[in-house]
Chains A and B, each alone.
Chain A
Amino acid sequence: MGVERLASRLGSLLNPFCRGLGYIASVTVFALMCLTVADILMRKFLNQSILGTVELTELMMVVIVFLTLGFSEMKDAHIKVDIFTSKLKRPTQTLLDVITQFLAFLLFAFMTVSVLRHALVMQRVGEVTQDLWIPKYPFLYLTALGCAVLSIALFFRFLEFLSERLKP
């Protein structure tokens, strides 16, 4: 019962949060499109590219990817193969899900810590991009945030399956 309540509370916090991150990523995708088109137009008609288009694109990609990882998980969009487990009995299926989701949660929790460490180093070193001198470390913190959200989303999945499994 405790597990079920915890899962539902976590879900009600995570869903709007991930959706919010998804909105930010969406705006970034649109901005990326506009930036690239603007760069092409400038190059064709004014013979001059927008300075730093490549590095801006790379940083925007970091924003897009890491803000959507958790969002995609909450939408259950990450690809799974269910042909082999579909023949199993429901309790066996849930037990397997409990195990695999916990493994995935652990991995991304590890990843979060490792990325954070990397971010701290980058902040200390103060590495910047080549043309626009944008500091890189904030984007590493964002990467860590994305990994953390994904790991929490996976923990939520784990709780969901666990609560189903524990039901009498």
Chain B
Amino acid sequence: MSPVTFGVIGIAAVLLLMALRMQIGFAMAVIGFLGFAVLNSFPSAFSVLGHEPFKTAGSYGLSVIPLFMLMGQFAFISRMGAEAYKTLYYWIGFLPGGLAMATIGACSFFAAISGSSLATAATMGMVALPEMRKFKYSDELATGCLAAGGTLGILIPPSTVLMIYGILTQQSIAELFIAGFIPGIILSLLFILTIYITARVWPEQGPPGPRFTFPERVRSLKEPWGIFALFLLVIGGLYAGWFTPTEAAAVGAFGAFLITLIKGRLTWKTLVESLMEASKATGMIFGILIGAYILQYFLTISQITDHLVGWVVGMGLNRYIVMCILIVIYLILGCLMEGLSIIILTIPITYPLILKMGFDPIWFGVMITVITEMGLITPPVGVNVFVIAGVAKDVPMYRIFRGIVPFIFAMLVLISLLLIFPQMALYLPHTMSR
């Protein structure tokens, strides 16, 4: 049997083990080990097991992971997201659908200090849902905008998915973060437009909220200072080239820590909880990363990636057709699996392909981030939907999914825009100081 055939069988075996509910990272490690043992030798596979974990964990570049996780945790307990919501509520709450628009806005602000979609959805769910209920918003619009808004967490920098993509492809995390910024803002605007149209066509879905006087509005502006300060420092610092990603993450975590402290929201209990949560998430991510690196040994020696790339290129298809096929595959995967795992599992195979076809790696990172974002809210495994369902306990799941449909269209619009105008993602990184 040729190595390539082995590679195909290996990939099928990984997928099978994952489908049988094995931990994703461990499935990759088991097959990577066995495959390398068969194609090379047992002693060398055994030696990979001894070297690889230490090498993967003890890497300076990867220290960005626990630090950004910690920043997100502190941002979560600082309640800065709630404050952003309050400000926007004062300014645009009176518009038709205004409370839902304020929710999207606040999600974008919170996303600017947190890299996690779940945290964004959970934070905003607790704050914005009761308000929208009070003003008789339909369940569909209220829960739909929350689940969709939550996905902004991974597109607007910092972003867990872009960070992992950068690590796997050895692309600059700083450039990837900066590249996600404009598409993130455009997606927020598309979401807001979606709400506007919905509230215009069906006014009963999103009735206007209360109106505030101008002085009251101006006063509300002082609340979200923490978010602006942190975002400017962290993402601005990355853009200006002051910090490496690890340093930016540490500064962000420390800043969020100080803000939480100043706002009087840091207790011993929340501090310990934040640290433990950041540690747990780090263990989880490295559980997958170590597996992915071990699998990589097997994939490399099987030469399956080279063959796949050669095969696709040999078909002589237009590269945009290949990209569209990839997008469809990722959309399907997004329905079945969680975003981070999709990226870690597929990048070793698809990344060489897109490089060969002449696509920009930074652009592709943003593209698959948007696609995996969609996966967060599409049935049957829309993780964000489960989070919102946890907050809005009396709303049946199918109504949340129904509320999400218009937002999925907004995301498809963004994907098309990105395909047509790659500059949307690439303009800012090109202007960065290096």
Contacts and interface: CB of A to CB of B under 8 A. Distances in A.
Interface of A: 22-23, 25-27, 29-30, 32-34, 36-37, 39-40, 54, 57-62, 64-73, 75, 77-85, 93, 96-97, 99-101, 103-104, 107-108, 110-111, 114-118, 139-140, 143, 147, 154
Interface string B49-73: 1110110111110110011001000
A67 B66 CA distance: 13
Nearest to B340: A79
B9 interface: no
Contact of A115 (B49, B278, B337, B380): B49
A98 B108 CA distance: 43
A104 B26 contact: yes
Contacts of B51: 118
A110 B33 contact: yes
Interface in B215-242: none
A80 B54 contact: no
B284 A77 contact: yes
B47 interface: yes
B276 interface: yes
Interface in B6-38: 17-27, 29-30, 33
B22 A61 contact: no
B131 interface: no
A96 B21 contact: yes
Given A29-B70, A62-B58, A140-B54, A37 B254 contact: yes
B246 interface: yes
B189 interface: no
23 contacts: A25-B282, A25-B283, A29-B275, A30-B275, A32-B67, A36-B67, A37-B254, A40-B243, A40-B247, A57-B60, A57-B63, A61-B60, A61-B62, A71-B279, A72-B287, A73-B283, A78-B24, A79-B288, A80-B18, A80-B21, A107-B29, A111-B53, A114-B46
Given A36-B247, A79-B338, A22 B54 contact: no
B402 interface: no
B381 interface: yes
B151 interface: no
Contacts of A107: 26, 29-30, 33, 49
Nearest to B253: A33
A103 B22 contact: yes
B341 interface: yes
Contacts of B67: 29, 32-33, 36
B47 A139 contact: no
Given A61-B57, A61-B63, A62-B57, A79 B24 contact: yes
A27 B174 CA distance: 27
A157 to B, nearest CB: 9
Contacts of B24: 78-81
Contacts of B297: none
Contacts of B17: 100, 103
Contact of B53 (A26, A82, A83, A147): A147
Contact of A22 (B22, B53, B276): B276
Contact of A96 (B20, B23, B29, B278): B20
B248 to A, nearest CB: 10
A100 B20 contact: yes
Contacts of A72: 280, 283-284, 287
A34 B254 CA distance: 8
B250 interface: yes
B336 interface: yes
Contacts of A71: 279-280, 283
A67 B278 CA distance: 13
A104 B30 contact: yes
B281 interface: yes
A141 to B, nearest CB: 11
B279 A115 contact: no
B286 to A, nearest CB: 5
B286 A65 contact: yes
B250 A36 contact: yes
Nearest to A21: B279
B324 interface: no
A143 B279 contact: no
A81 B18 contact: yes
Nearest to A70: B283
Contact of B250 (A37, A54, A73): A37
B187 interface: no
B231 to A, nearest CB: 18
B272 interface: yes
Nearest to B252: A33
Nearest to A60: B63
Contacts of B272: 23, 26
Contact of A78 (B23, B58, B63, B243): B23
Contacts of B280: 22, 68, 71-72, 75, 77
Contacts of A104: 22-23, 26, 30
A103 B282 CA distance: 23
A97 B21 contact: yes
Contact of A27 (B275, B287, B380): B275
A69 B54 contact: no
Nearest to A142: B54
Max chain B Cβ within 10 angstroms of own Cβ: one of A65, A99, A103, A139: A65
A143 B30 contact: no
A115 B307 CA distance: 33
